[in-house]
Structure 1
Amino acid sequence: MHLPTDLSSYVRVLKLASTPSWEEFSQIAKIAGAGILLVGLLGFLIFALMSFVPGGP
């Protein structure tokens, strides 16, 4: 690991990075929230299905 080279590449990436606009942020938040809800719903459905199957928890 060559420290000065690594630091310069990190600084270059940080210079290229920019903060998202409010519209972009809200769209990303909606998509992430929908994904979290979908995974939670899928987990709940699997749990409910396994509760009705004989030998479930």
Structure 2
Amino acid sequence: MVESTFEPKITAESVGQVIRAHLRVLKLTRKPSREEFLTIAKVAGVGILAVGAIGFIIYVLLTMLPQWVAQ
């Protein structure tokens, strides 16, 4: 078996670069307005309901289909 010789080199400089990049992104962020938050919450809720509905339909098909085929 071939052993991997790749080892990431973690240095103080590379860690500093990552921290600076993260801080730069955090400086750009802001708190969403109430309207933005409600819109995002509605979209997420619709997505959750859609996934649940698809799962329920699959469940019903897999439990009822064998009964329909057996008749």
- TM-score w.r.t. structure 2 length? 0.72
Look up the match of 1:52. Answer: 64
Q: How far does residue 6 in structure 1 lie from its aligned partner after superposition?
A: 1.0
Q: Which has the larger radius of gyration?
A: 2
Shifted more, 2-11 versus 32-41: the winner is 2-11
Q: How far does residue 54 in structure 1 lie from its aligned partner after superposition?
A: 1.4
Query: Within 1, Cα distance between the matches of 2:66 and 2:42?
Result: 38
Q: Share of identical aligned residues, percent? A: 45
- Structure 2: gaps of 5 or more residues: 1-9
Local SS of the residue matching 2:38: helix
Count of aligned residue pairs for this structure pair: 55
Q: How far does residue 5 in structure 1 lie from its aligned partner after superposition?
A: 1.1
Which amino acid in structure 2 is aligned with residue 20 of structure 1? P
> Of 7, 23, 29, which aligns to 2:19?
7
RMSD across aligned C-alpha pairs, in angstroms?
1.3
